[in-house]
Structure 1
């Protein structure tokens, strides 16, 4: 069911003659269809830039240009590439230190709530065109792939592998991973997302369809935790893989 914001914005577009011809998707928006599935910016006769201008005007949000997005610090690493592509949002940190979420569809409240869980409640929402968000996401993806390829080029030595295996089999790591799995079962989580960074781990559980952050595993090395999970899954701990699309 379309939310109230979606309905009001579609009415606004209709009143200003910005909807596509009635034999297309726009006709279905008047029949109570889920406008999120139809992608609001695709059911109008407006260009991507004009649609962004209308959305920013209607919701009283600021506008974000492609130049502003590409010059800001990207925060895409906190989300899966698939999530960003499907929701068409671009998280970044502006020069003044504020966290900004560029959105194409301001009516998508579920995506805004998910972003707030990951980035914090103090994010500034601004509207960008679908074309600009797609370009910014592609640029960030290309940069991350290049960095990952450079990292993968340095294969671990045999003694490093044995050290990781020893750490992963140690009592602190085994206990930390077991506690995490037990917590996920207690909370009825469908997924456990563990993202290693240079400074630690980001741990999130998917509960009722939303990824919710939980306290990071303390007192254990991120590499040891990842290796422990690979051992449980009968994977090769020496093999390094590029992150796969999650949710």
Structure 2
């Protein structure tokens, strides 16, 4: 499979969990990695951790702050992409990106359908749904127009398997799947794909979650939950496989079978 060494990758949501796992694995593949998230302190700490994990990390990883929860999200995304491409190529001749991985989203708030209102609907979709669409809008300006280039979004099993209290998130998850396929058509030759993880052990479980994680593992088909390192492999594969576009990887540990 083609090498991705030397290619540039931006991970939005790259300071923790799956996004951090993708950034770390990409560095080990010889990629140049930029990570972005909303908290500048977490970005700085994540960059230091990534540098420590890679002998060449001092020159191959950069961090940026972007808050996608604000009404001017599109201009914030555009500024991020301008800054990242300028870092690698300079202000006068920015170097276009090879890949982008989007894992941003934050904690999910469960709410009965009877308690849903318009504000909640908008809030749930701001980052998880609207941001990927706007990334698609901006892609032609900031990505190399080649089939080696790719964008990979992140959804979850709720796109295919309903769960109690997840009605709004299920709607956005299904919508993102449709958007991924359509963007693969609209943005060609840039490839657009999606990873749908199952339960993964990340910081989103919160402190003191050991008992809940163990209980979830006992119910899982394989008797275990996924790790960010395992899940990250799916994103690396989609960057490597230059025939993959409009593709979904469901690395959910068999959760869809239960």
When normalised by structure 2's length, the TM-score is 0.26
Larger RCO, structures 1/2 (Cα 8 Å, 6+ apart): 2
When normalised by structure 1's length, the TM-score is 0.27
Determine which structure has more spread, i.e. the larger CA radius of gyration.
1
